[in-house]
Amino acid sequence: MTEGSVISIDEKSLQKNVTFLKKKMGKNVCISAVVKANAYGHGIEQIVPLFEKHGINHYSVFSYEEAIRVYVSLSGANTIMIMGWIADEDMPDVIEKGIEFFIFNIERLQVAIAYAKELNIKANIHLEAETGMNRSGLNAEELAIAISIIKENDAFINVVGFCTHLAGAESISNHPRIQKQLKNYNKMLSILEASNIHPKCKHVANSAASFIYPKARMDMVRIGIMLYGFWSSTEVFIQYFNNKANKQDPLERILSWKSQIMSIKEVKCGEFVSYGISYLAQSNIKTALIPIGYASGYSRSLSNKGIVLIHGHRCGVIGVVNMNMIIADISNVPSTEVGDEVVIIGKQDDLEIKVSAFSDISDQLNYEVLAHLSELIERKVIVKE
């Protein structure tokens, strides 16, 4: 664990987000909580039990390793779906545990069938269609081949779902492309069903698409960033509030990140601070050393730009962000001592630093900032009262 640094997860805010999204999606639409990238930096082992406690029973991950972390974090029967990487040697365990997974090329389908035959167990698959994102998925020709293989091996394959991924539903500029993708998806679904393969779960929408394109909700939506309290984009946020009398944001951030002062130093006017010569003290200043850095997920691009909260004051991060340390100017903060709280993300008194502040300064996406938070930082849950 990273010394002197802790990420807190607020259960009450998480519950509010789940409740809001369930109501918005409707009772007939399953919400699959996307918990890839260590649950968007929040911590799989901390987040998954909370989602389960508050009524989420479907989880989407990128890899086998993430799937296993979710598997051991759950207390009851839930569905886990791998959207990305599975090494061939891990396929038997995936099939045995009943974990569902995407089929995005013919090779993976053949590997799955081979192991399913060895185990004499049906593999639970989701056929992923290539509809225009040009990243992963079966094109029309490959889908026809897959259908033929599945029908020949019906005893070992359970086609649970048919899916695709929309290319940037959070931006209105992508609207024509998204409409074309949805048209392609429906055309490929018709081909699948005409072959007497009827997946029970049809899904295409992520957080943004589930709001911008309500018809794209289908049987299930794969929601990630919104469960954690963030809107996919400003455009999605504005569209939601359009024509609404109540302008209060229904989503709440559930993550805060705090550290503490490690050391305090007096720096004389004319002295440089940290590596190189990027920061020159223009007067006598007092600085605080804080034990986080780019190894923790605090980007080097925040050098001489970042802000932290100490004793209810905004303090600038000065000098180059180090691997394990940053330096803050505390000249205007009275009575500081070693061990005092430092807020990196979150609230202190009447002030708040949001993840979006990092994005504005460093040109990083919210997703990127969160995903870079080191897994070595301690995560703790603030239990709902």
Q: Which residues contact 2 (CB under 8 A, 6 or more apart)?
A: 291, 292, 296, 374, 376, 377, 378
User: One of 36, 122, 202, 258 is an active-site residue; which one?
Assistant: 36
217 is in an annotated binding site: no
> Known catalytic residue: 36?
yes
User: One of 180, 275, 347, 380 is an active-site residue; which one?
Assistant: 275
> Do 342 and 290 form a contact (C-beta atoms < 8 A)?
yes
Residue 279 structure tokens: 């920061």
Q: How far apart are the C-alpha atoms of 336 and 109, rounded to whole Å?
A: 61
> Known catalytic residue: 279?
no
> Do 201 and 217 form a contact (C-beta atoms < 8 A)?
no
Q: Which residues contact 385 (CB under 8 A, 6 or more apart)?
A: 12
135 is in an annotated binding site: yes
Q: How far apart are the C-alpha atoms of 347 and 143, rounded to whole Å?
A: 50
Q: Which residues contact 379 (CB under 8 A, 6 or more apart)?
A: 6, 7, 8, 9, 42, 43, 45, 46
Strand 341-348, strand 255-260: pairing: antiparallel
> Do 100 and 78 form a contact (C-beta atoms < 8 A)?
no
Residues in the chain: 385
Q: What is the largest CA-CA distance in the chain?
A: 79
> Do 231 and 211 form a contact (C-beta atoms < 8 A)?
no
- SS3 (DSSP) at 24: helix
Sheet holding 79-82, edge to edge: 201-203, 157-163, 123-128, 100-103, 79-82, 58-61, 30-34, 220-223
Burial of 304 (0-12, 13-18, 19+ CB in 10 A): middle
Q: How far apart are the C-alpha atoms of 304 and 318, rounded to whole Å?
A: 4
Instruction: Name the residue with tokens 């799937």.
Output: 67
Q: Which residues are annotated as part of the binding site for substrate? A: 135, 323
Q: Which residues are annotated as part of the binding site? A: 135, 323
The set of catalytic residues is: 36, 275
